[in-house]
């Protein structure tokens, strides 16, 4: 391979720059690209340094030189969501051109007429409905092009003809973020309405016109490289030979192609077979501002707290470093603050002046024990069990601080000796680590570890069958029968959060074992929304339940008499026999509880969460719609509950149980643990005393290594599907030294996780310390379509919305403003005749604005109305889209087909499915549309509904017959799926075929069924997900992942179909349903003919003997 084409981008061998360069474009002798969250311009082939074109210090992408090379159009996130801006190359302020307010806007290039070509999902029901737009540079909002959803567009005048090149059917992830992706959304290329390269089995990206050919990126040979073909798809050529890193984000000036690869920029001078790529020598001017150190406010970065014995001070983790902070006054003292090392899970060791925590200083989790600051001098911390613990999830100390219990990600429950050795490192020298495995779970990690007050027992919640059942276990740690494990509960329910009361007489825990069903108001189903309650277990049969009736006749809620009853000294005696039978519920209402802790005086505190709908629109208590928990205290002696803090985020408990540190939206305060705090007893903790300085480069090194460990620990296949994961990490590691912003680091991690070749490996960038202010507000949206007319901007249509969806209501609804009115002013400012009202609504989302309208011709004077513009009008657009699809189905089927669309497999999808289920299944046939389904986890609930069969009917006089089973399809069911049917959408499509619910029409689905559970926040704030849960089917094996589900009837809706208004797929699904209906008629109720005879029979004559 020629040296020019080799993958050397990550080696730092002197070529190019130490920066991480992305999104290149070129014009003449100039090159534009993104680095350090700004745009730069550099000389293309002559020595010289690049200069900044923008100084926004915020995410930016896809710059494109204008045809004359004087301006650059680009996508920037300086306004919360991406919008299109235009900047002069030779200096001057940039101008914002779009006010679309959606997260999918992207510049694609320029048209021969001098308009900017872009894609956006503005005004669409789905994020993947990115339509192409032609955006003039005069500030006009731009025109929507008719080709339907596209991810890229290029336009060229060639041989006297204007050609349009479209890329459709691509996923939201670029090829490098899921390498060697082969699902249903690999992309389709269209030239002038005709598809080309239909048989190319690769993930397509960045199509462009270059020198009479079509160039594009593809990984059909296993690695992302640059290819080209003639306009008819013939003469396919490869122009680059990268065999390690993917070529990404290619663009062209019509003759040359530039692209990024491993942080470097490369150029292909022409598309001849002999041409070879060469790396560009690009050097940035000025300091690496994104890698300089900076301070952060501690209150916004608290990751953990451990309070000392008396509640007067605590160890506070701020962004991976540990500080000692007295609660009232005094300076903050640093315990552990090494750049590039992350500290987690602080835990005070009794009252001995030591704190334990988890550190990754040696590249794997270890426990470090530090000595609290003393006037007598500093002592070096002790590090224990490095590399022996796996990923530490919980760290708990016994009351004396001599032993630590550790829950590991691999299911092990470990005990670690935390005592000091009398002769320094004798234990290490003898080969003993002090780590003992108490038990190992094969069903996931143990959790909720808690020691008894005498330190002799340990209790925890142990995972059982499935993913929800858990049981309470406890083990004797010392004394006679040490290591004896006892089952407190039998594993029938979800039991969690066990704790010993401080007097040692009881074990309390939370359990989801309430079975008081609540009727569904729509479908008659029953569910258990109020299933959790705290429970109490007397550890000895001689200890009466504090909620039982006493011999003196005290009421059941009267509790124990503190004078007559021994208060207990914390010594625990466990009578194993009959333990499960002594479980008693607390006399509190069933709800949602968490964070159970024992406090001083034998009582308990917990968090009670408001019961709400999955969409956060309905609350069981209308007076509490915060969604935040309440901190409550329960006095066992009096069997009485009281409220300590109304709303908070979380809390920590002092060692003696007398004080709580409450974390509430960045504020910390210490309060009593048994009564509401007042002005005297509440101490506000000033976190400004902690001056934490961030070293971004060191943080990124740590976060990169931590991400690698997390993937290795949690990836679903123990053998990593054959991937040399350590080799992959080493391959990309040099690039960490080049990134200079959170977005660049996230981009790098996407490439690394993309090597897994697996779905659900996502990366979300951390919020940087610079860039747009945090208080920015969103674009205001009015839920209406406007059109430019001579007299101004006219309301063409107010979206009708849906009264059953609170988010699907136009701000103009109910104002008296009608279609045909002209919007003249926003907050008293005149609407520009070219740009329209949209610039005046910038930042108006969720706030009240005044709109002035001139009514439709002849309807009176101007009117002023006050409205609250929407932040997101997608729910409104979606309901309108569903209504229109339903109208099409009604028209095509003559009213014989019902229509249901399911947008996702979560709360909103379940709501949408049930919203019209009763109406739509009453028709002879049913279309179930899961196109664009974003996935989730409730597909099995939908399948349960759709597999219902009508076995009979319930007839009531004067009423319509009702089927048994109710709400069951009456006849054929046809499913619609496409390449955006994803995740749990893949699953329901597979279920349709496997259960023979009905034929599937459309396109092969996305192909991503290795799901994730939760998210992992790295030390710098970057969030990643790990593919943990792989789906396997009897009929498909593992093959749905990275393949998708092929429909029974493959129908493609082409750009020409969209342009000409043809409902391909939907038309075919309806026709198929009608054909099936003619072969298999729908179930119909019986008539009143042949009803049973219930008349009195004639009495026969008596028989005489």
pLDDT for the residue numbered 376: 56
The CATH code belonging to domain 784-871 is 2.30.42.10
Tokens of 422: 């009398």
What is the Cα Rg of the chain in Å? 33
pLDDT for the residue numbered 550: 66
C-alpha closest to that of 299 among 319, 320, 313: 319
Q: How far apart are CA 595 and CA 592, in angstroms?
A: 11
CATH topology of domain 22-145: Neuraminidase (2.120.10)
CATH topology of domain 294-692: Methylamine Dehydrogenase; Chain H (2.130.10)
Domain boundaries, the chain: 1-18+151-272, 22-145, 294-692, 784-871, 875-1008+1044-1079
Q: How far apart are CA 442 and CA 463, in angstroms?
A: 8
pLDDT for the residue numbered 555: 45
Burial of residue 47 (number of CB atoms within 10 Å: 0-12, 13-18, 19+): exposed
- 829-830 and 849-854: which strand pairing? unpaired
**Residue 760 appears among annotated catalytic residues:** yes
Distances 5 to 217, 241, 243, 247, 268 between C-alpha atoms, Å: 15, 6, 9, 11, 10
Q: How far apart are CA 419 and CA 345, in angstroms?
A: 19
pTM: 0.94
Flag residues of the chain having pLDDT under 70.
1-17, 375-377, 421-432, 549-568, 620-625, 769-775, 858
Among the listed residues 760, 810, 901, 979, the single catalytic one is 760
pLDDT for the residue numbered 375: 56
pLDDT for the residue numbered 379: 85
Q: What is the largest CA-CA distance in the chain?
A: 131
Q: Say which residues have a Cβ less than 8 Å from residue 638's Cβ, sequence separation at least 6.
A: 558, 559
Distance of CA 124 to the CA centre of its chain: 21
Q: Kindly report the CATH class assigned to 875-1008+1044-1079.
A: alpha beta
Q: In which order are the strands placed within the sheet that holds 116-120?
A: 106-110, 116-120, 131-135, 143-149
Burial of residue 907 (number of CB atoms within 10 Å: 0-12, 13-18, 19+): middle
Tokens of 151: 């991810």
In 70-224, beta strands by DSSP E: 71-76, 83-88, 95-96, 106-110, 116-120, 131-135, 143-149, 152-158, 161-168, 188-191, 194-196, 204-210, 213-218
Among the listed residues 36, 156, 347, 1041, the single catalytic one is 1041
Phi-psi region of 45 (alpha: psi -120 to 50; beta: other; left: phi over 0): alpha
**Residue 242 appears among annotated catalytic residues:** no
CB atoms within 10 A of CB 395: 23
The two domains 294-692 and 875-1008+1044-1079 share their CATH topology (first three levels equal): no
Bond into 965 cis (ω within 30): yes
Q: Say which residues have a Cβ less than 8 Å from residue 242's Cβ, sequence separation at least 6.
A: 5, 7, 223, 224, 225, 261
**Residue 152 appears among annotated catalytic residues:** no
Tokens of 482: 């040490």
Alpha-carbon torsion, ordered 707, 709, 711, 715, to 10 deg: -160
Using DSSP's 3-state secondary structure scheme, residue 86 falls into strand
Using DSSP's 3-state secondary structure scheme, residue 334 falls into strand
CATH topology of domain 1-18+151-272: Neuraminidase (2.120.10)
Q: How far apart are CA 760 and CA 745, in angstroms?
A: 18
């Amino acid at each position: 391979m020629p040296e020019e084409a080799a993958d050397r981008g990550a080696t730092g061998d002197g070529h190019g720059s130490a920066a991480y360069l992305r999104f290149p474009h070129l014009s003449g002798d100039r090159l534009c690209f993104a680095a350090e969250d700004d745009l730069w311009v550099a000389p293309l082939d002559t020595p010289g340094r690049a200069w900044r074109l923008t100084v926004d210090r915020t995410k930016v992408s896809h710059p494109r030189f204008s045809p004359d090379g004087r301006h650059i159009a680009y996508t920037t996130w300086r306004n919360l969501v991406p919008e299109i801006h235009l900047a002069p190359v030779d200096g001057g302020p940039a101008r914002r051109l779009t006010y679309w307010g959606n997260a999918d806007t992207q510049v694609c290039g320029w048209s021969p007429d001098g308009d900017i070509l872009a894609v956006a999902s503005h005004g669409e029901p789905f994020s993947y409905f990115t339509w192409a737009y032609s955006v003039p540079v005069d500030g006009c909002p731009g025109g929507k092009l008719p080709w339907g959803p596209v991810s890229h567009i290029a336009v060229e005048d060639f041989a006297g003809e204007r050609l349009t090149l479209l890329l459709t059917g691509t996923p939201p992830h670029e090829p490098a973020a899921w390498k060697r992706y082969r699902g249903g959304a690999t992309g389709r290329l269209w030239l002038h309405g005709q598809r080309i390269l239909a048989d190319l089995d690769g993930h397509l990206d960045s199509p462009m016109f270059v020198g009479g050919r079509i160039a594009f990126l593809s990984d059909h040979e296993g690695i992302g490289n640059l290819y080209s073909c003639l306009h008819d798809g013939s003469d396919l050529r490869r122009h680059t030979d990268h065999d390690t890193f993917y070529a990404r984000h290619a663009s062209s000036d019509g003759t040359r192609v530039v692209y990024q690869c491993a942080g470097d920029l490369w150029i292909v001078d022409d598309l001849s077979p002999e041409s070879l790529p060469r790396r560009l020598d690009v050097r940035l001017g000025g300091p690496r501002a994104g890698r300089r150190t900076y301070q952060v406010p501690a209150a916004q970065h608290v990751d953990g707290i451990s309070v000392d014995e008396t509640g007067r001070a605590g160890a506070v983790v701020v962004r991976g470093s540990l500080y000692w902070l007295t609660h009232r006054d005094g300076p903050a003292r640093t315990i552990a603050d090494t750049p590039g090392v992350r500290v987690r899970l602080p835990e005070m060791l009794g009252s001995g002046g030591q704190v334990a925590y988890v550190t990754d200083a040696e590249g794997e989790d270890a426990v470090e024990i530090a000595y609290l600051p003393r006037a007598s001098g500093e002592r070096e911390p002790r590090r224990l069990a490095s590399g022996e613990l796996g990923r530490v999830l919980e760290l708990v100390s016994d009351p004396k601080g001599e032993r630590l219990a550790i829950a590991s990600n691999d299911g092990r429950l470990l005990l670690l000796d935390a005592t000091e050795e009398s002769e320094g490192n004798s234990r290490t020298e003898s080969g003993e680590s002090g780590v003992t495995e108490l038990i190992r779970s094969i069903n996931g990690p143990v959790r909720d570890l808690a020691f008894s007050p005498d330190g002799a027992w340990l209790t925890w919640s142990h995972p059982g069958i499935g993913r929800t059942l858990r049981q309470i276990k406890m083990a004797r740690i010392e004394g006679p029968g040490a290591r004896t494990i006892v089952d407190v509960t039998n594993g029938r329910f979800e039991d969690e959060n066990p704790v010993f009361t401080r007097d040692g007489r009881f074990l309390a825990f939370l359990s989801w074992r309430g079975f008081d069903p609540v009727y569904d108001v729509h479908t008659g189903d029953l569910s258990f929304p109020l299933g959790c309650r705290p429970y109490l277990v007397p550890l000895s049969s001689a200890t009466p339940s504090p909620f039982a009736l006493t011999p003196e006749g005290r009421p059941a809620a009267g509790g124990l008499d503190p004078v007559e009853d021994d208060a207990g000294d914390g010594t625990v005696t466990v009578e194993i026999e009959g333990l499960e039978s002594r479980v008693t519920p607390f006399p509190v209402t069933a709800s949602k509880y968490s964070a159970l802790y024992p406090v001083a005086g034998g009582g308990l505190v917990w968090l009670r969460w408001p019961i709400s709908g999955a969409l956060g629109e309905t609350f069981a208590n209308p007076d509490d719609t915060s969604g935040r928990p309440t901190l409550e205290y329960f006095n066992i002696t009096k069997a009485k509950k009281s409220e300590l803090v109304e709303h908070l985020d979380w809390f920590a408990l002092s060692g003696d149980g007398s004080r709580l540190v409450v974390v509430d939206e960045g504020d910390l305060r210490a309060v009593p643990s048994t009564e509401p705090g007042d002005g005297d007893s509440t101490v506000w903790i000033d976190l400004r005393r902690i001056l934490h300085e961030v070293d971004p480069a060191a943080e990124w090194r740590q976060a990169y290594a931590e991400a690698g460990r997390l993937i290795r620990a949690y990836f679903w296949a123990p053998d990593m599907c054959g991937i040399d994961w350590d080799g992959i990490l080493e391959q990309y590691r040099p690039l960490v030294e080049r990134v200079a912003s959170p977005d660049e680091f996230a981009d790098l991690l996407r490439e690394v996780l993309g090597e897994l070749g697996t779905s659900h490996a996502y990366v979300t960038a951390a919020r940087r310390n610079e860039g747009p202010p945090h208080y920015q507000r969103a674009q205001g949206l009015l839920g209406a379509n406007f059109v430019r007319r001579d007299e101004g901007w006219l309301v063409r249509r107010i979206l009708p919305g849906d009264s059953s969806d609170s988010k699907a209501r136009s701000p103009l609804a109910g104002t008296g403003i009608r279609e045909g009115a002209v919007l003249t002013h926003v907050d008293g400012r005149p609407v520009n005749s070219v740009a329209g009202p949209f610039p005046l609504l910038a930042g108006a989302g969720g706030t009240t604005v005044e709109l002035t309208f001139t009514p439709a011709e002849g309807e009176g004077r101007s009117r002023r109305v006050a409205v609250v513009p929407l932040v997101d009008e997608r729910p409104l657009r979606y309901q309108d889209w569903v209504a229109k699809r339903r109208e099409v189905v009604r028209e095509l089927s003559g009213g014989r087909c019902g229509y249901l669309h399911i947008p996702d497999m979560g709360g909103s999808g379940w709501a949408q499915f049930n919203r019209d289920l009763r109406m739509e299944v009453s028709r002879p046939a049913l279309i179930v549309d899961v196109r664009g389904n974003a996935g989730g986890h409730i597909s099995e609930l939908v399948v349960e509904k759709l597999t219902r069969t009508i076995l009979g009917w319930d007839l009531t006089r004067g009423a319509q017959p009702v089927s048994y089973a109710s709400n069951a399809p009456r006849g054929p069911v046809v499913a619609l799926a496409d390449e955006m049917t994803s995740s749990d959408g893949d699953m329901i499509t597979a279920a349709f075929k496997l259960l023979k619910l009905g034929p599937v029409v459309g396109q092969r689905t996305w192909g991503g069924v290795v799901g994730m559970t939760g998210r992992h926040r790295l030390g710098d704030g970057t969030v990643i997900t790990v593919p943990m849960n792989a789906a396997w089917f009897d009929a498909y094996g593992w093959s749905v992942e990275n393949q998708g589900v092929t429909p029974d009837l493959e129908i493609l809706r082409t750009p020409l179909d969209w342009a000409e208004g043809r409902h391909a797929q939907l038309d075919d699904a309806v026709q198929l349903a009608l054909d099936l209906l003619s072969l298999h008629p729908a179930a119909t109720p019986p008539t009143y003919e042949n009803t049973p005879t219930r008349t009195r029979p004639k009495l026969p004559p008596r028989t005489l003997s």
